[in-house]
Amino acid sequence: MDQREQTGALLRLAVVVAAGLIVAELFGALATVLVVLGLLVMIVLHELGHFVAAKRAGMKVSEFFVGFGPRLWSVRKGETTYGIKALPLGGYCRIIGMTNVEKVDPADEPRAYRNQPTWRRLTVACAGSFVHFVLAFVMLVILFLGPGDIGNFVSNPPSSSPVAAVEGFAGGPSPAQLAGLKAGDRIIAVNGRHFSGWDQLTAYLRARPDQRVALTIERDGHSFVTSVVLANGADVRLKGQKTALYAKPTGLLGIEIKPSPVRFGLVGSVEHAGTAFGATAVTSVTGLARVVTDFGGYTHMLASQKAADSPTAERFESPVGVVRLANEATRIGLSEVLYLLVLINIFVGIFNMLPLLPFDGGHVAIAIYEKVRSVRTRRPYHADVNKLAPVLYAVLAILAFYAISSLFLDLRDVLS
């Protein structure tokens, strides 16, 4: 493909992308499409991490492509071909000599991945996940510093968070309705007491069933005090429910709150970003372990939509599910979009480090194994990847099963 053909192909691709964005705007889905494009950029940055690490290590990178399938556009710069392919489902960075079975030009053998020091190979293999972790941490700092967290990471919102809804009970009005509370009101104090967070305020109310409390309410910049007797959750049913809300006496007011965004300064944002990153990483690992080990529960989801729709159900999301989540996040706001991107980056970074081929973690495991064997035998050792072929095929089969089944689950949700 000469320069003129390359330019024409690139212009056609730009026109298609621009047309797609215009159509998305006309259908009110531009924000969702931009989030999906952001996910594609994250994948490109993952491969760029491998690319930069390999180049700095002196390895030869022959290709760097975005997407898979038919080639739409490409250009060769130096020893590397850069390009875009038709299916925007990922990308790849081709480093020569990743395994012992790959044929490499003898002149390029010294620059092959397999002949580099172990620490350089580990750096290249881990670079993709490292990029995801850096992206997640930066997004967390931006979240806490800018739009603020709305309860995804900071579980205890401020006690003065605005009332989102005032609920009624099956047997009559709730205390909140009797007190005249409205959406947007803020509870400043109860019995003259101020609270550091919503958890502390609700604990105070729950400990006082059937007791009269004085509520200091802020509405439209003005404050007033009203009193009301709290309901007893052991005697209260919501409309449409047959059982009481609580088994034991529990004080209830009858409101839902809309968490106020929680923001911090730069130092506090960095601190909370570290804490949120660690907690999310632990949750991702335990969730991944439950999905993989609870195979019976997963197959039950395939047979029962009710089981799949359970709030406690844990499973993989297909591209259809990710688009749906992106659409829901954009409807809520920037905080939820950042939250979703953080979750995806941390999960993908961890998932990619599974010590099995074709994941990057598989190359990490091979590099460490080869180093141990080389030390023991006192001569360079290269693992025979052909012996790992059955494991590789098994992993690919499992991935295919989860990919197809998760697509089935998401399409079933959409169609129903």
* pLDDT tens per residue across all 416 residues of the chain: 566 766 777 787 788 788 888 888 888 888 888 898 899 899 999 999 999 999 999 999 999 998 888 888 888 888 999 988 888 777 889 999 998 888 889 999 999 999 999 999 999 999 999 999 999 999 999 999 989 888 788 767 777 788 888 888 877 888 999 988 888 888 999 999 998 888 888 889 999 999 999 999 999 888 999 999 998 888 887 766 667 778 888 898 988 877 778 888 899 999 999 999 999 999 999 988 988 888 888 888 888 888 887 767 788 888 888 989 999 999 888 999 999 999 999 999 999 999 998 899 999 999 999 999 888 888 888 888 888 889 889 999 999 999 999 999 989 888 87
| 121 is a domain residue | no
How confident is the model at residue 2, as a pLDDT?
61
Residues 312 and 174 in one domain: no
Q: Which residue has the tokens 């993952």?
A: 46
DSSP state of 144: H
Pair (168, 201) in one structural domain = yes
pLDDT at residue number 240? 65
| Residue 127 falls inside a structural domain | no
Q: How far apart are CA 362 and CA 391, in angstroms?
A: 11
Q: Torsion angle, CA of 359/364/369/374, rounded to 10 degrees? A: 130
In single-letter form, the type of residue at position 96 comes to I
Cis omega before residue 319 (within 30°)?
no
SS3 314: coil
Number of domains in the chain: 3
- Confirm whether pTM is higher than 0.75: yes
Rounded to 5 degrees, what are φ and ψ at 73? -160, 145
Alpha-carbon gap, residue 59 to 65, rounded angstroms: 17
CA distances 286 to 135, 144, 173, 275, 389, Å, are 21, 25, 42, 17, 28
Whether 366 and 414 share a structural domain: yes
- For CA atoms 218, 145, 42, 25, the dihedral sign is positive
**Position 140 in a domain:** no
Residue 260 gets which letter from DSSP?
A: P
Structural domain contains residue 167: yes
Element of type H or E holding 330: helix 319-332
Domain, as residue range, for 252: 163-257
132 in a domain, yes or no?
no
**pLDDT score recorded for residue 148:** 87
In angstroms, the first-to-last Cα distance of the chain is: 47
* Helices vs strands, H then E, count in the chain: 12, 9
